[in-house]
């Protein structure tokens, strides 16, 4: 009996330290525990991605569940030469879009026309440091969240994936199914808009 | 500049989902796995049901023919035409009926009927399971 528990503990420890792609291979060879490890690794970050994308924490859990069901259904088709993290975020994004379509919400900002140009944003990039007052705010997280949520969803998600989820622009372009130039442009416009909001706030 | 943004976004606190979200996800995957198995079972049982239904029809026709060719049908009809004689010699009559009964054909037919009923019962149970889970999914908007 002790040997079985020791095997389980060692097996769990080995799995917890394996790469995502290795875990997918374990799952394909019959190790269901590998899927649980992957779910545990990503469920919080996917939950936060979904809640920010749809702007509703109440449905974020349902969307997160749906995302992982889709991951499980398609895991045998996943190409282990690609990055699992990018793939799961792609599924999460598509699941969010499906939800918003069913809800008949328009995920794009009214300030962004069909070309993707924003008439309210200058192309001038502010490279000056952020005001120090920002960093001493006790409610900095809520303050930042509020200002980020006011951005068009496409800008918001690019910025968050870049800074919070640590994707590079190429990975974000795969997730969003857009060209790298479009992603870079959205990032730039989004950061300009965010800077204006942060700089314009009276502390 | 990058360091400033890094410092800024590091202060953005992620929300915590409910304590049970991880379990809910695992249970949901388990449920989907079961649904998949049930759907496969429905497909296989439906095929067997169709085959066994035709088998039952064939065996029923076989029983009908056997009842006529063994003379059972003719003996049985004597109850209506010669009731008084039958009641007088009822024991012989019963033995005659039993002897002429096409047992093999009846056993085959009844077996096919049981199979059809059994498969139908399993199918109804599986279809009910699928429909109740689909209703729950619709409630959640998926």
Interchain contact, A144 vs B11, CB within 8 Å: yes
Domain membership flag for residue A112: no
- Bridge partners (DSSP) of residue A112 are A118
- CATH at residue A24: 1.10.1740.10
Let me know if residue B90 belongs to a domain. yes
Q: Would the CB atoms of B9 and A144 count as touching at under 8 Å?
A: yes
Which residue range(s) make up the domain with A196?
132-200
Residue B6 lies inside a defined structural domain of this protein: no
Q: How close does chain B come to A85, measured CA to CA in Å?
A: 18
Distance from CA of B122 to the nearest CA of A (A): 26
**Phi and psi torsions of A193, nearest 5°:** -65, -40
Q: Which residues of A61-86 are buried (b: 16+ CB within 10 A; e: fewer)?
A: bbbbbbbbbbbbeebeebeeeebbbb
Tell me: do A12 and A97 sit in the same domain.
yes
Cα–Cα distance for residue pair A171/A89, rounded to 1 Å: 10
| Residue predicted with more confidence, A36 or B1 | A36
Give me the domain span that covers residue B40.
31-139
pLDDT for the residue B110: 93
Same domain for A139 and A188: yes
Long-range Cβ pairs for the range B109-112 (8 Å, 24+): B109/B56, B109/B59, B109/B60, B109/B62, B109/B63, B112/B52, B112/B55, B112/B56, B112/B59
Whether residue A145 sits in one domain with residue A88: no
Q: What is the pLDDT of residues B73-91, one digit of tens each?
A: 888 888 888 888 888 888 8
Residues of B in contact with A141 (CB under 8 A): 11-13
Q: Are residues A97 and A136 both part of a single domain?
A: no
Phi, psi values for residue A112, rounded to 5°: -110, 120
Q: With a cut of 50, list the residues of chain A below it in pLDDT.
A: 1-5, 107-123, 203
To the question of pTM greater than 0.90 for the whole model, the response is no
B40-44: average pLDDT: 94
Does residue B96 lie in a domain region?
Answer: yes
CATH number, domain with residue A162: 1.10.10.10
Q: Is residue B9 part of a domain?
A: no
Residue B52 covered by a domain:
yes
A47, B15 Cβ separation under 8 angstroms: yes
Distance from CA of A60 to the nearest CA of B (A): 9
**What's the structural domain count of chain B?**
1
A20 with A93, same domain: the answer is: yes
Q: With respect to residue A113, please indicate whether it lies within any of the assigned structural domains.
A: no
């Amino acid at each position: 009996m002790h040997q079985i528990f020791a095997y389980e503990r060692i097996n769990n420890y080995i799995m917890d330290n394996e790469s995502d792609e290795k875990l997918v291979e374990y799952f394909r060879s019959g190790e269901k525990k590998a899927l649980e490890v992957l779910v545990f690794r990503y469920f919080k970050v996917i939950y936060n991605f979904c809640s920010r994308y749809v702007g509703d924490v109440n449905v974020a859990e349902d969307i997160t569940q749906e995302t992982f069901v889709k991951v499980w259904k398609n895991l045998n088709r996943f190409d282990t030469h690609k990055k699992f993290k990018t793939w799961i975020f792609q599924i999460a994004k598509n699941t969010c879009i499906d939800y918003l379509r069913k809800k008949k919400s328009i995920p794009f900002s009214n300030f962004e026309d069909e070309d993707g140009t924003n008439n309210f944003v200058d192309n001038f990039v502010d490279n000056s440091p952020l005001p120090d007052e920002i960093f001493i705010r006790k409610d900095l997280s809520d303050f930042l969240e509020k200002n980020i949520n006011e951005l068009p969803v496409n800008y918001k998600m690019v910025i968050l994936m870049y800074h919070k989820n640590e994707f590079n622009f190429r990975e974000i372009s795969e997730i969003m199914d857009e060209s790298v130039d479009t992603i870079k442009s959205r990032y730039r416009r989004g950061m300009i808009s965010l800077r204006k909001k942060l700089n314009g706030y009276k502390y | 500049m990058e360091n400033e943004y890094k410092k800024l976004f590091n202060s953005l606190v992620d929300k915590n989902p409910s304590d049970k979200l991880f379990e809910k996800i695992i249970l949901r995957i388990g449920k989907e796995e079961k649904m998949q198995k049930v759907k496969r079972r429905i497909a296989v049982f439906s095929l067997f049901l169709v085959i066994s239904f035709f088998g039952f029809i064939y065996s029923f026709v076989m029983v009908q023919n056997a009842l006529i060719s063994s003379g059972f049908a003719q003996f049985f009809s004597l109850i209506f035409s010669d009731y008084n004689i039958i009641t007088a010699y009822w024991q012989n009559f019963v033995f005659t009926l039993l002897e002429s009964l096409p047992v093999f054909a009846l056993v085959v037919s009844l077996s096919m009927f049981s199979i059809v009923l059994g498969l139908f019962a399993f199918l109804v149970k599986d279809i009910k399971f699928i429909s109740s889970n689909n209703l729950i999914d619709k409630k959640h908007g998926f």
